Amino acid sequence: MLIQLQPGLAPAAKAAIISRIEGLKYKVTEVKTQRAHYLVGIGKADIDLRAVGQLPGVQDIHRVSDEYKLVSRKWRVRPTVLDLGDGVRIGEGDFTIVAGPCSIESEAQMNTVLDHLTENNVRLMRGGVFKPRSSPYSFRGMGMEGLRLFHQLARARGVKIVTEVMQVSQVEEMHDYVDVFQVGARNTQNFNLLDALGGVDKPVLIKRGISGTVEELLSSAEYVFSGGNEKLALCERGIRTFETASRNTLDLNAVPILKEKTHLPVLVDPSHGIGIRDYVPDMALAAVLAGADGILYETHEQPEKAASDGAQTLNFEESGRLIRNLRRVYELRQTLE
């Protein structure tokens, strides 16, 4: 069960509720977030929710059978919308485009990408300053020096930043320079990192693991929510299968499934999902029709010279065309709903 407590509840009243739940042979976990105070009850007994719901101090109570209780749509039917400030939002009712290079490489590169995004009214820029690479000899990002410069240049243009955090020790030093922390596919089950991000008051975008299931992605989000951070979004980015014709297999099945299972925003990354530049726009448009709340893709002025992932990165002409088509297809989707 999931219990939402009334704001400002006295400790004695909370203790009485917990005692009542434990008396029903349920284990109770207390969760306090930026927005509310919850009790998560885990047990096997079939109980009458009114036995708890009528207690003083209980604002709401729900029966949630999913393992991922806090991110489940079974109790919160109204979808979560992340407000990043300055009119930038992620969630249902606002179609979000996030674009930028795989890696932040230089001040000149950041400025050219920012010019491209602002010309196309895109308010969120992706770009890695810490890059997990398969080879230790590949370019691994500009680190904190690059992030501080990235933040300065983006702020001057009114653009928000989405960038990947790779380990617990980076969370605090990155905090003031990031608008959305991204958890990459290789860290989706780095539970120490997820716990740390539960303690920050910044949005977190969690990518699906390379071989992860939908349930595992939702469980990763549950870690962050249960740690105190409700500001969450999910990203389908393709999974590793037996298919070799593309870098990964972009699982668009996951989009409507996630939209049914969770109240969190769902984005899609077709760049990593298919890994082939020519096919990225088609998969991005398909993701919109599948119900995605936003698209996250890679763009660079000269993809063939990109420090990483050039084969899946759109040039600015291709990117501009995709932005226009994404908005057209989103408008079409609204007429079909």
For position 144, which CATH number holds? 3.20.20.70
114/244 same-domain check = yes
Residues 24 and 129 in one domain: no
Q: Label residue 134 by pLDDT band (50, 70, 90).
A: low
**Do 305 and 228 belong together in one domain?**
yes
Q: Is the pLDDT of residue 309 over 90?
A: no
16 shares its domain with 88: no
- Over the stretch 145-191, which tens digit does the pLDDT of each residue have? 999 999 999 999 999 999 999 999 999 999 999 999 999 999 999 99
16, part of any domain? yes
State the Cα–Cα distance between residues 204 and 180, nearest whole angstrom: 6
Rounded mean pLDDT, 213-236? 98
- Please state, for a pLDDT cut of 70, what percent of the chain lies above it: 97
Query: What is the edge-to-edge ordering of all strands in the sheet holding 37-42?
Result: 27-32, 37-42, 2-5, 58-62
Residues 118 and 168 in one domain: yes
Instruction: Please name the amino acid found at residue 226.
Output: S
Whole-number pLDDT of residue 137: 58
Check residue 52 and give its pLDDT: 93
User: What are 57's two structure tokens?
Assistant: 């101090």
Grouping H, G, I as helix, E, B as strand and the rest as coil, residue 20 is helix
Contact 306, 280 (CB under 8 A): no
Determine the pLDDT at residue 55: 95
Alpha carbons 22 and 28: distance in angstroms, whole number: 7
Angle 247-251-256 from CA coordinates, rounded to 5°: 160
Q: At a CB cut-off of 8 Å and minimum separation 6, what does 191 contact? A: 223
- Average pLDDT in the 271-296 region? 98
| Chain CA centroid to CA 68, Å | 16
pLDDT per position as a tens digit, 191-203: 999 999 999 999 9
Residue 73 falls within a domain, yes or no? no
Q: Please check whether residue 319 lies inside any domain of the structure.
A: yes
CATH number of the structural domain spanning residue 20: 3.30.70.1140
Q: Which residue has the tokens 């972009």?
A: 250
Q: Are residues 313 and 201 in the same domain?
A: yes
Interior angle at CA 78, CA 26 and CA 36, nearest 5: 50
Query: What is the pTM for the complete model shown?
Result: 0.94
The count of structural domains within the chain is 2
188 and 307 together in one domain: yes
Would residue 74 count as lying in a domain? no
> 137 versus 160: which is more confidently predicted?
160
Summarised one tens digit per residue, pLDDT across range 144-156 is 999 999 999 999 9
pLDDT surpassing 70 at residue 132: no
Domain that holds residue 88: 82-336
- Whether 218 is covered by a domain: the verdict is yes
Report the run of H or E that residue 157 belongs to, with start and end.
helix 143-157
Terminal Cα-to-Cα distance of the chain (whole angstroms): 32
> In this structure, is residue 67 part of a structural domain?
no
Question: What is residue 83's three-state secondary structure?
Answer: strand
Q: Check whether residue 199 and residue 313 sit in a common domain.
A: yes
Contact between 261 and 214 under an 8 Å Cβ cutoff? The reply is yes
Domain-embedded: residue 251: yes
Same domain, 254 and 167: yes
Query: What rounded mean pLDDT belongs to the chain?
Result: 95
Cα–Cα distance list, 198 to 79, 168, 328 (Å): 20, 11, 36
Mean pLDDT calculated for residue range 254-276? 98
Pairwise CA distance, residues 181 & 113, whole Å: 20
Determine the Cα–Cα distance for residues 242 and 123; give it in Å rounded to an integer: 37
User: Residues 88, 45: one domain?
Assistant: no
Regarding whether 161 and 17 lie in a shared domain, the answer is: no
What is the C-alpha to C-alpha distance for residues 85 and 128, in angstroms, rounded to an integer? 22
In a shared domain, residues 231 and 278: yes
Distance CA(92)–CA(327), nearest Å, equals: 14
* pLDDT, tens digit, 9 for 90 and up, residues 38-74: 999 999 878 899 989 999 999 999 999 999 999 999 9
71 falls within a domain: no
Confidence grade of residue 130 (pLDDT, cut at 50, 70, 90): confident
